Chains A and B, each alone.
Chain A
Amino acid sequence: MSEEPMPLYEVFIRPKAGLSHKHVGSLHAIDDTMALHMARDVYTRRAEGVSIWVVRSNLIAASDPVDKDMLFEPSVSKIYRHPTFYEVPEEVGHM
């Protein structure tokens, strides 16, 4: 006999007040409430955070790692987007 599978959830924890939520892992649950409870039990047993987000994994749209070069190449070649590209004489001080 095979049971109906439970949906997969992704779990995000805010490690400290003021910081963004960070992905920590996933779990199976039948609904949002159960996912929150389980996330609390599974991922916050050692004071890992102050707030939990759970979201159904199938609702996440993700880029394909195969496209990595095409997507992120400009951040390497466009070095003028970095402050260090510009010459500011030492006498002028920090800018």
Chain B
Amino acid sequence: MYAQALDQKDKGPKVVEDPEKLARFEARCAADEKIEPKDWMPEAYRRTLVRQVSQHAHSEVIGMQPEGNWVTRAPSLKRKAVLISKIQDEAGHGLYLYSAAETLGVSREELTDALLSGKAKYSSIFNYPTLTWADMGTIGWLVDGAAIMNQIPLCRCSYGPYARAMIRICKEESFHQRQGYEIMLTLARGTPEQMAMAQDALNRWWWPCLMMFGPPDAISEHSSDSMRWKIKRFSNDDLRQKFIDATVPQGHFLGLTFPDPALKFNEETKHWEIGPIDWDEFKRVLAGDGVCNRQRMRVRRQTEADGAWVREAARAHAKKRAARQALQAAE
């Protein structure tokens, strides 16, 4: 989904690869073989994956903030337990993905630094605020729904550790989406005020969710490398369309309307067609000018700084124990 990095070309320094090894690597990709950490791989493949997998990891971690906003105000103990559970899952997803990225020869510290310094990006969607409880429903239903669309093909990604992490994540995302839809269903069956709250959340989140799939194919700058290397298997527009077709009937079932007067079902193609997406907004948010970009980064940096004493204490404790053991061994 969080895989908007797919649309960035590899801009690292050109590396002249051994033509024989490169040919063998390309043949393995073409044959749908999995590439594992110790296998030879071209530098551009490695860099593309480090960028994508780490951006994915950062998104999971930053994604805890919009939901964390509602933990203390969840409407019941049950909803609160569920929300905490979901946020816990996001932290786990971040960990699986950071670990997968580290198998490519980059350290956790480098990845964290890239996020904190603003060098690395995370999904644009998490720069929108969560204003009401209905946003928790909408995030589960739409944001996680879009993530699943994007992530299912990644389970077959050519890079083994990433593909296996995605399989685990997809299994867990199913709970996220269903709990979100259930919140929406509860609101839709509730009072007129609750229904209005659900509608307002859909109005605010619909377009940003469609942007999660990245720029339209026509202007997307992604290289054909990602497709040939079986990192990416569907185009942005194809995935977006799949998401729209799956989601619109779900919204109508809730009795909600989509904030798009141009939305209509094409009887011939059997697809839902949408009006134009505001790509300027997308670019603005990615560039750092969304409603919450500054807040998200500030909180992330503060969290990292606040946790420093815990890491320091763990290191001091390990040192003390090692010294004590060495002393005992000497006696």
Binding partners A and B:
yes
* A interface residue numbers (CB < 8 A to B): 17-20, 51, 78, 80-83, 85-89, 91-93, 95
Contact status A89-B175, CB under 8 Å: no
Number of A-B contacts defined by CB within 8 Å: 55
- Closest approach, in angstroms, between the C-beta of A54 and any C-beta of chain B? 14
State which of A18, A20, A86, A92 has its C-beta within 8 Å of the C-beta of B175: A86
At the interface, yes or no: B222 with Cβ under 8 Å from chain A?
Answer: no
Given contacts A18-B34, A18-B163, A83-B175, contact A95 B181 (CB under 8 A): yes
Q: How far is the CB of A11 from chain B (nearest CB, A)?
A: 17
On chain B, the number of residues with a Cβ less than 8 Å from chain A's Cβ atoms is 23
CA distance A87 to B181 in the complex (A): 9
The residues of A that contact B145 with a CB separation of less than 8 Å are 95
A-side interface mostly: loop
Shortest C-beta distance, A78 to chain B (Å), equals 6
Given contacts A80-B82, A83-B174, contact A92 B179 (CB under 8 A): no
| Nearest CB in chain B: distance from A83 CB, A | 4
Question: Judging by beta carbons under 8 Å apart, are A85 and B175 in contact?
Answer: yes
**0 or 1 for each of B251-275: is its CB under 8 Å from A? (1 = yes):** 0010000000000000000000000
Q: Which residue of A lies closest to B83 (CB)?
A: A80
**A18 CA to B167 CA in the complex, in Å?**
11
B36–A51 contact, CB under 8 A? Answer: yes
Q: If the complex has contacts A20-B164, A86-B179, are A78 and B250 also in contact, measured as CB distance less than 8 A? A: no
Q: A78-B81, A80-B82, A80-B85 are in contact. Are A92 and B163 (CB under 8 A)?
A: no
Asked if B36 and A80 sit within 8 Å, CB to CB, the answer is: no
Question: Smallest Cβ distance from A58 to chain B, in angstroms?
Answer: 14
B89: chain A residues within 8 A (beta carbon): 81
